Chain A
Amino acid sequence: MGRVDRIAEPWGSRTPYGPGENWPIRVDAYLDGGLTEDDVDRWVPSATILHSNGDGLDIAVKDGRIVGVRGRAEDRVNHGRLGPKDLFGWQANNSPDRLTRPLVRRDGELVETDWDTAMDAVVGKVHELLEEQGPSAIGFYTTGQLFIEDYYTLGLVAHGGIGTNHVDGNTRLCTATAAAALKESFACDGQPGSYTDVDSADVIALYGHNVAETQTVLWTRMLDRLAGPNPPKLVCVDPRLTPVAKQAAVHLAPRPGTNVPLMNALLHEILRNGWYDQAYVDAHAVGFDELQRQVEKYPPEVAAEICDVPVEQIREAARLIGTAERLLSTVLQGFYQSHQATAAAVQVNNIHIVRGMLGRPGCGLLQMNGQPTAENTRECGADGDLPGFRNWDNDAHVADLARVWNLEQIEIPHYAPPTHAMQIFRYAEQGSIRFLWIIGTNPAVSLPELRRIRSILGQERLFVVVQDIFPTETTELADVVLPAATWGEKTGTFTNADRTVHLSEKAVEPPGEAKADLDIFLDFARRLGLEDKDGEPLVKWSDPEGAFEGWKECSRGRPCDYTGLSYAKLRSRNGIQWPCNEENPDGTERLYADGKFWAAPDHCEEYGRDMVTGAPVTETEYKALNPDGKAIVKAAEYLPPHELPSEQYPFQLITGRTLYHFHTRTKTGRAPQLQAAAPEVWVEMSAGDAADRGLGEGDLLEISTPRGRVEARLRISGIRPGVVFLPFHYGYWDTADGGQPADGHGRAANELTLTAWDAVSKQPIFKTAAAAVRRLAESGGSPSAAPTTTASAPVTGSPPPTTGGRAAEAEELVGGTA
């Protein structure tokens, strides 16, 4: 057993292994101030919730309080390991400023009240608007951090009970393109690959995926392969010098907004050199000819020009990808939050389809998620999809859902795809949505163009309900605030980015009067008097297990089939991959083995969309294109980004994340070790750009766009020249000014971003804005607060290294037994 400063060494110690071997066990644990395992009263099974990796862990409880966590050695995802956010983030649960009582706005001020008063206000408003306008007045904006039971119940209440089409989550910001890209290529959502593909891959290509910071344990798995015999080669596409880029055989750093021409050039090389599987394509795919025609126009020389990447690097990357025997590809925000998001992500799918690399060990495709339960919003119908991957445009699917819910079909809106988040806010701006219930998310910091978002939420005519665990910039704008329980305080299930389902048990009571999200929704449905077509209560369950059983029925026969799972089964073996049913009682490691897809016209979740306009493909068109339900190879042309640098705004601004924080820091900012590791916003610029302008490390800069301005200290990093980077985590809740920037002294990156989204996935674009930079003050010798352990590592000078000291020492037991 060793103690390791996990702030200084976020990925811990190496346990090297070779291709095809089992990843060795290493159990990580952290307990509060000097406690030992002997002091712990109970260990309660759960999984991690501050990223999408879904690492199995046990919550340590002493005297009715959470006092620490320990990785589960037997868990298929992490083999005992935990990341820094998991080791330290739980401390936020015990924070003294949790919301503990409902609040209502009286004379402009939020004041404490009881649940009856708060819920009566909510239900009264909904009744009033349903009477006056109908369901089009009601919107729900949820999160990627609830449980299956919560989402499914909310989807039923909103879509089925109230009958509104306006239900989406902040998953629109993090995972919408993953879902959209899978729907384009396979006509259905569902992660094809498995994390175990890391164990046998010989090439791992990471597209806009800084896995070292976003899924630290998955990166640990890759690092252990890199340290072992016959390591895989990495290909990294990222404009920043990330920890992944530093380990890569080829690092491509394209100009922001040019992922499509880069991908087209890689495919051009793969096709030109014959590195594809013609027999597989003939048997299992449609659309190949169009791809050939399209990528013909993008030889590496053309892409090199558009993307500003050396042509030899494109060729070398294509050679590695094209000649890999076991290719694993992963994709995240560098593609999803960029211009032409879906079009670019789909080209990664295309590589796997044309190379026939699906459904076999090592041949994995991982369209990643950002949040822990993002997958479940997609499955359960809380994010702009219907539950169970049902197709809104297929009447038989809607009829089947009506059967499950015991409703008339017309009660479930399906006149168009469920309204996406950005459109929900537009309707609220326009005044046709007049009630918006925001759950577990902080749009006043996380959505683009914050001045606009604040002004929408601040409207007198919009009734805003916010359900959360802390006061935030968004609760400041609410009419009613509902205090919720969080992870460890409620029971439920959730599914990670490789379809692994974990049961997370209640370990302790929530603080004060805070309630489990499910109980809040059940109470709402009861007070609203929602009924099915026989006059019985619409929601048939009253606890998490009942909700899970309800969800299982809804998923029966659908791709995300949960019918083989139960709380009892997950209690005996936590962490099982769907589909899990009678046929696959132990779950399913990989999808699409033997070239079989869920793409048949009568079964598929979506018929697809136009890659430029986003217009849905009709049923008739789809039946003509893909009658036999094969994989769909979709080509895409390049469109220049909508906002290009100019003389006035010469830089391209990208926003992103750091290893030590999650979202708007509501939890990680309250965990002392994490907060100390990245205490303050910074801005990154390349050494050349800084030298040209005479700027130095730590200088206070103003970054501005036509939307607003932000102040941040400079970190000279390995970022691509011409690009500046701001982390998006920092808002105002822990500043003296509270909810908003005082006198325009912004620090939230989203003051600057533009309101624009990918026409296919509707995911907002956070990585292509034109910005100007000027110095407000010299550093005076003090460096920026950017971490030195990550992509924000300095390339000039020697700012003090990021360490956590004794307070950040966690246990590490290598080779612990399962």
Chain B
Amino acid sequence: MKLDLAIEELHRSENELYTVLLSMSDRHKVDHEVFYVTRDMARWSEQHVAELAEAGREFGLELDPEAKHPAGLLESLQHKASELTGRRSAPGLLLLADLRHLYREAGGTALDWELLAQGAQGAKNKELLDFAERCQPQTLRVSTWAKAKLKESSPQVLAS
């Protein structure tokens, strides 16, 4: 039984997704929708991390239930940098790169949920399966958003 490995890996990747979302938010403080929506979506990862820690206990794992927040100083520097470059067009390219990165991160995490769901099915663990099926759609919504935002933002960045 290697479900513990799947949970551990998910715990790692949800933590990573949480960090990616929050640092992206900080880098794009002046792109207000990006700033707020990434924060709203980070709440899902935060919740997933807590629930994964809880689920892991059954498998003898001791995972930190608190998602790790990016360092405070870096965060405020990024805020400031974002504000200082708010009038430039280069952040447009940076936004596209960040959205592309987020799309892949969220896609990878969603795939990890898929793995967990499959494992849970194999082990006939209904509770774990329900958990995975409840959380995966939220992670998919992150990648859907990243793709939609990329689609919406790229024409203005690339054709101006």
Contact = CB atoms under 8 A, between A and B. Distances in A.
A644 interface: no
B31 to A, nearest CB: 7
A613 B144 CA distance: 9
Contact of A431 (B33, B87, B142, B152): B87
Given A613-B40, A614-B37, A616-B148, A429 B87 contact: yes
Nearest to A432: B160
Interface string A610-646: 1011111000000000000000000000010010000
Nearest to A136: B160
Contacts of A417: 152
Given A136-B155, A417-B152, A422-B32, A642 B160 contact: no
Interface string A134-152: 1011000000000000000
Contacts of A419: 156
B31 A415 contact: no
Given A417-B152, A610-B145, A613-B37, A134 B159 contact: yes
B149 interface: yes
B36 interface: yes
Nearest to B44: A612
Contacts of B39: 642
Contacts of A762: 33
A616 B31 CA distance: 19
A427 B87 contact: no
A642 B33 CA distance: 11
Contacts of B148: 613, 615-616
A442 interface: no
A639 B160 contact: no
A691 interface: no
Nearest to A417: B152
Q: Is the interface of A mostly helix, strand, loop or mixed?
A: loop
Nearest to A426: B31
Contacts of B88: 430-431
A133 interface: yes
Contacts of B119: none
B27 to A, nearest CB: 15
B87 A430 contact: yes
B107 interface: no
B86 A429 contact: yes
A732 interface: no
B81 to A, nearest CB: 15
A757 interface: yes
Contact of B156 (A422, A432, A612): A432
A415 B148 CA distance: 11
A755 B43 CA distance: 21
B92 interface: yes
A756 B148 CA distance: 19
B36 A642 contact: yes
Interface in B105-160: 141-142, 144-145, 147-149, 151-152, 155-157, 159-160
A568 interface: no
A756 B40 CA distance: 13
Contact of B40 (A134, A415, A612, A616): A612
A165 interface: yes
B65 interface: no
B41 interface: yes
Interface size class of B (residues with CB under 8 A): 20 to 34
Interface in A382-414: 413
A635 B88 CA distance: 39
B145 A134 contact: no
A759 interface: yes
A736 interface: no
Given A429-B87, A613-B144, A755 B152 contact: no
A416 interface: yes
B160 A756 contact: no
A759 B33 contact: yes
A615 B144 contact: yes
Contacts of B40: 612-613, 639, 759
Contacts, number: 80
Contact of B151 (A415, A426, A612): A415
Contacts of A612: 37, 40-41, 141
B86 A756 contact: no
Given A133-B160, A137-B160, A430-B92, A615 B36 contact: no
B91 A430 contact: yes
A432 B89 contact: yes
A417 B147 CA distance: 14
B87 to A, nearest CB: 6
Interface in B24-66: 30-33, 36-37, 39-41, 43
A432 B151 CA distance: 17
Nearest to B86: A429
Contact of B145 (A422, A613, A642, A755): A613
Contacts of A413: 155
B141 A416 contact: no
Contact of A613 (B30, B87, B141, B156): B141
B156 A427 contact: yes
Contacts of A759: 33, 36-37, 40
Contacts of B156: 136, 419, 427, 432
Contacts of A639: 40, 43
Contacts of B151: 415-416
A415 B36 contact: no
Interface in A196-243: none
A637 to B, nearest CB: 10
B84 to A, nearest CB: 13
Nearest to A621: B144
Contacts of A165: 155
Nearest to A133: B160
A613 B39 CA distance: 10
Nearest to A427: B156
Contacts of A756: 32, 36
Contacts of B157: 432
A616 B149 CA distance: 9
Contacts of B160: 133-134, 136-137, 432
B40 to A, nearest CB: 5
A431 B88 CA distance: 7
B36 A610 contact: no
A415 B155 CA distance: 8
Nearest to B144: A615
A803 to B, nearest CB: 44
A413 B156 CA distance: 12
11 contacts: A136-B160, A422-B33, A423-B33, A427-B156, A430-B88, A430-B91, A612-B141, A613-B41, A615-B145, A615-B149, A762-B33
Interface of A: 133-134, 136-137, 165, 413, 415-417, 419, 422-423, 426-427, 429-432, 610, 612-616, 639, 642, 755-757, 759, 762
Given A134-B159, A430-B86, A432-B157, 12 more contacts: A136-B159, A416-B155, A419-B156, A426-B32, A429-B30, A429-B87, A610-B141, A610-B144, A613-B145, A642-B39, A755-B32, A759-B36
